[in-house]
Amino acid sequence: MRIAQIALEGSRDWPGFRAEAINDGLSVFTGPANTGKTTLAEFLGHVLYGKAAEVANGTWRRRGMPEGEIVVVDQTGRYRLRRYADVPPPGRLTISALNGEIVVADDLRRLLGNVSPEILPDLYAIDFARIARHAWLPSADFAKAFYSTIGT
């Protein structure tokens, strides 16, 4: 799977941000502190992996995760993954196939390499100063969960 497009709405850092044609290679978003890099990383982590930003006292740790969408592509087609902020945190996620076909749970899991949803949030690090459950990653329990999803 590759990300083909990104669109953020309602981000103070990147209002109306759009990356319309992301190439197959590596894409890098860079800039000085407080310019929205973490906002973008948290948004991608939430949309792709269901990873919620840290919540403190019932509010988002940062100024609030924006609404927006990404378009992903794999060998079977193009899919739109969209985040809405119309319900309490962490919001609502939707997925739709751009060719109009019905999307089932197996489609999303296939897009994510058949890796278990239980381990994806820990593999996707957003804040490198504090990696969630970092002690779990080298454990036998993690290895068992990881290998059971990739089949080797």
For each of the chain's 152 residues, which pLDDT tens digit applies? Answer: 889 999 988 766 667 788 887 877 778 888 888 777 877 888 888 888 766 655 544 444 445 677 899 999 988 899 999 988 777 766 788 889 999 999 987 887 788 777 766 666 666 665 555 555 566 667 787 777 777 766 65
Q: Please enumerate in sequence order all residues whose Cβ is within 8 A of that of 8, keeping only pairs 6 or more positions apart, or say none.
A: 14, 15, 16, 17, 18, 39, 40, 43, 66, 67, 68
Q: Please enumerate in sequence order all residues whose Cβ is within 8 A of that of 119, keeping only pairs 6 or more positions apart, or say none.
A: 142, 145, 146, 149
CB 96 within 8 A of CB 103: yes
Length of the chain: 152
Nearest to residue 113, comparing CAs of 150, 81, 71?
Answer: 150
7 membership: H or E segment, kind and range: strand 2-9
Instruction: Give pLDDT, residue 124.
Output: 63
